[in-house]
Amino acid sequence: MRTVYALFVGIDDYPGAPLRGCVNDVRDAEAWLRRQGHVASDIRRLHDGDATLAAVRAGIERHLGRSGPGDTALLWFSGHGSEEPTDAPWEGTGWSQALVCHDSLDDGRPPLWDTELGALLDGIAARGAHVVAVLDCCHSGGATRDGAAVRAVSWRPWWSSRATLGARDGGGQGPLPRRHTLLAACRPQERAHEDVLDGQVRGYFSHALLEALGKLGSSATYGGLHALVEERVRRLSSVQHPELRGGEDRLFLSADPVPGSPFLLRHTVAGWEVNCGQAHGLRAAGAEFTLLDGGGAPRVVVVREVRAESALVDPVGWSPGPADLDAVFGVTPSALAFPPAAVTLAGDPGVVRLVEAAVAGAPMLSTAAAGTAVPSAGTGSVPLRVDAGPGWAQVSGGAGRDLPPLPVRSPADADRVTDCLTHLARWQHLRDLVNPDPWLSSLVRITVEPTGVGTVRHSAEGEVVCSYTADHRPPQVMVGIHNDSDRPLWCVLLDLTDSYASSASLYDGDFVGAGRTGWARRGEPVWLYLPPGRTVVPGAFTQDWLKVIVAETELNTAPFVLDPWSPVAPSGARTGGAQGAAADGLLRLTAPPGGRDAGGPAHGPGRWGTAQVRVRTEVP
């Protein structure tokens, strides 16, 4: 049985700045954990005067640090948070955050800085435990409470000496160290609140989180919890937006993956909402999603309004019950309002027939005869090609590396070819994603800057060319996301590789302050190197497309992640992936309302945008 090592820190009794609901928060959280029969718990609590900086540090290092592989370390902090301006390269918001311990308001006593807290938690995660931090304090989105009281205090002058971030491993396309999952009460620039809720003073966030856990039970995922909590807090305060970092498709407190669609349906004050919007490629009203609840006749919702980060939908053919209003449902696209990728088939007639039949059941694809003019990607379609020989098929048309021929001797083999085509279509859809309205796109840019290891130059074709050193060391660069606007913008940086993968690990979703720069890997160098299987010899190279997606609010990042294409590993294209077909063939294509081919009606002012650079890493 999994053991949850839990540290509950609640501080109301701050000298000169008292709060009233923090100890209530952590007592209720502890009571909830003790009721969970599917896990064993080892609990330590620090309330009020016991929660000194030394005690909190020791609780993390010595108590949570006892957790090992297969265990969970849970830090739940309710109290004051604080922030100060900084020029530190790892703080794209321009502010540093800290948790305020009981003695931090005493002259000369420091708080628990975000960099120190993050390093402590990530150090435990690196040893194999699943680590989650629940922070109910102001500025908690960066700290890895107006009628209502605010859980913040002003920065003290003696706090200005900051702890430094420990060195991290190199970046690029290699594996990254395990990190903690963060459930935060608010964005880094916001304040968290507490007030009387259900008869006692509680933090808005802790109250909503425990309420959601009570409704979802042991099947709660981090993404589902966040969806419910965000809506409940939004009803209480329009200026507090809870954040989730990491683990959207993982079970709460276990990190076990839950297969299914990355898109979620919930009921909000504006009606039913799916977290798929313009920035995910959704273009027009009329698109359809089907609930993945696995029981009875399929339940469908249809898009009536497309927003930047989400879409408002209406149930069609069914009436939600009272219990549905407090639930979160996984959904999969089942009728998309944009055209499929065009596939040209040529070669051996028998193989072509097998592949053509498989493509007919893949809603993201359509077929075109050899010699037929194929629409370009700029029209919304992705041109792909299959050249068939006796017993094999060669897929081409992607912008990445050449793929090996695939055997085609049965319908199952043809399905695998279709998986490959769908994977490439999804990858190119991400690479070519742009907002037709360039307003927000014009306010962000990406730079790739040298560090002295390897060289960086710009080619006449617009590529950033990064070269290995003479002794074959991979180049190291700094990758910056520059916000040239007058407002904070939320950004995620995608690394699309020529292995047909897309990763968000370099900058996995955070705000960049007005006029500031967010640095990939929190200011550590990004190592660019040839992927496994490519020998470091003169002339060898690989390509990356670095793409930032920017918005005025957080986006669902799960649809932006795509594993490399592999002929032996499942691609997810036919198992309800980001835009994949459900196994029962639910996914189909419909035209947007009004008979338009693509794009749907014109958008209002842009609320999301993109910027992109193409990087070539070569061995001279």
pLDDT at 151: 58
Query: Side by side, which strands form the sheet with 489-497?
Result: 455-458, 464-467, 608-618, 541-551, 489-497, 502-512
The pLDDT of 305-317, averaged and rounded, is: 92
pLDDT digits (tens, 9 = 90+) for 75-111: 999 999 888 877 776 677 777 788 999 998 887 788 8
pTM: 0.72
Kindly report which listed range (77-81, 293-297, 316-320, 382-386) carries the lowest average pLDDT score. 293-297
Residues 312 and 348 in one domain: no
Residue 68 lies in a domain: yes
Residues 209 and 295 in one domain: no
The pLDDT of 262-279, averaged and rounded, is: 90
The pLDDT of 302-325, averaged and rounded, is: 92
In angstroms, the CA 74 to CA 71 distance is 10
In angstroms, the CA 470 to CA 491 distance is 35
Residue 583 lies in a domain: no
Domain of residue 565: give its range: 441-578+604-618
Amino acid at 88: A
Kindly report which listed range (101-110, 187-196, 331-340, 371-380) carries the lowest average pLDDT score. 371-380
Closest by CA to 140, choosing from 181, 202, 179, 187, is 187
Kindly report which listed range (153-157, 367-371, 538-542) carries the lowest average pLDDT score. 367-371
Q: Going by DSSP bridges, is the β-strand pair 392-396/588-589 parallel, antiparallel, or unpaired?
A: unpaired
CB-count exposure of residue 447 (10 Å: 0-12, 13-18, 19+): middle
Take residue 555 and report the two structure tokens written for it: 């986006």
Split at pLDDT 50, 70, 90, the class of 125 is very high
pLDDT digits (tens, 9 = 90+) for 449-483: 999 999 999 999 889 999 999 999 999 999 999 99
Split at pLDDT 50, 70, 90, the class of 260 is low
The pLDDT of 324-335, averaged and rounded, is: 84
CB-count exposure of residue 323 (10 Å: 0-12, 13-18, 19+): exposed
pLDDT at 64: 96
Tell me if residue 190 falls in helix, strand or coil.
Answer: coil
Please check the confidence at residue 368 and state whether its pLDDT lies above 70: no
Residue 561 lies in a domain: yes
pLDDT at 167: 28
pLDDT at 479: 97
- CATH code where residue 608 lies: 2.60.40.10
Cβ neighbors of 132 (< 8 A, separation 6 or more) are: 72, 73, 74, 75, 180, 181, 182, 183, 247, 252, 253
Closest by CA to 280, choosing from 504, 595, 517, is 504
Kindly report which listed range (5-14, 97-106, 599-608) carries the lowest average pLDDT score. 599-608
Residue 587 lies in a domain: no
Residues 28 and 136 in one domain: yes
- CATH code where residue 375 lies: 3.40.50
pLDDT at 149: 60
Please name every residue paired with 265 in a beta bridge, in sequence order, or none if there are none. 274, 329
CA quadruple 100, 103, 106, 112: dihedral sign: negative
In angstroms, the CA 516 to CA 92 distance is 6
Report the range out of 473-482, 567-576, 589-598 with the highest average pLDDT: 473-482
Residues 166 and 78 in one domain: yes
Residues 110 and 88 in one domain: yes
Please check the confidence at residue 153 and state whether its pLDDT lies above 80: no
pLDDT at 531: 85
Q: Please say whether the beta carbons of 440 and 583 come within 8 A.
A: no
Residue 166 lies in a domain: yes
Report which of residues 503 and 173 the model is more confident about.
Answer: 503
Please check the confidence at residue 295 and state whether its pLDDT lies above 80: no
pLDDT at 174: 45
Distance from the first to the final alpha carbon of the chain: 54
Residues 278 and 413 in one domain: no
Instruction: Indicate the number of domains in the chain.
Output: 4
Q: What percent of the chain has pLDDT over 70?
A: 83
Residue 19 lies in a domain: yes
Please check the confidence at residue 598 and state whether its pLDDT lies above 70: no
Enter the DSSP assignment of 553. S
Please check the confidence at residue 525 and state whether its pLDDT lies above 60: yes
Residues 362 and 329 in one domain: no
Residue 592 lies in a domain: no
Domain end, chosen from 258, 282, 311, is at: 258
The pLDDT of 318-345, averaged and rounded, is: 82
Phi-psi domain of 452 (left: phi exceeds 0; alpha: psi -120 through 50; beta: other): left
Q: Going by DSSP bridges, is the β-strand pair 365-369/341-347 parallel, antiparallel, or unpaired?
A: parallel
Residues 125 and 213 in one domain: yes
Please check the confidence at residue 327 and state whether its pLDDT lies above 80: yes
Q: What percent of the chain has pLDDT over 90?
A: 51
pLDDT at 163: 42
Report which of residues 587 and 318 the model is more confident about.
Answer: 318
Residue 596 lies in a domain: no
In angstroms, the CA 479 to CA 476 distance is 10
Residues 539 and 560 in one domain: yes
In angstroms, the CA 175 to CA 243 distance is 25
Domain end, chosen from 412, 431, 450, is at: 431
Please check the confidence at residue 255 and state whether its pLDDT lies above 60: yes
Report which of residues 378 and 2 the model is more confident about.
Answer: 2
The pLDDT of 392-408, averaged and rounded, is: 88
Please check the confidence at residue 305 and state whether its pLDDT lies above 90: yes
Report the range out of 164-178, 232-246, 406-420 with the highest average pLDDT: 406-420
Cβ neighbors of 76 (< 8 A, separation 6 or more) are: 6, 7, 8, 9, 25, 26, 29, 133, 134, 136, 206
Please check the confidence at residue 330 and state whether its pLDDT lies above 60: yes
Residues 252 and 274 in one domain: no
Residues 278 and 227 in one domain: no
Split at pLDDT 50, 70, 90, the class of 364 is confident
Q: How far is CA 82 from CA 18, 98, 566, 614, in A?
A: 14, 5, 47, 39
Residues 31 and 95 in one domain: yes
Domain end, chosen from 379, 398, 431, is at: 431
Q: Please say whether the beta carbons of 10 and 51 come within 8 A.
A: yes
pLDDT digits (tens, 9 = 90+) for 166-186: 322 234 444 456 789 999 999
pLDDT at 445: 96
pLDDT at 603: 37
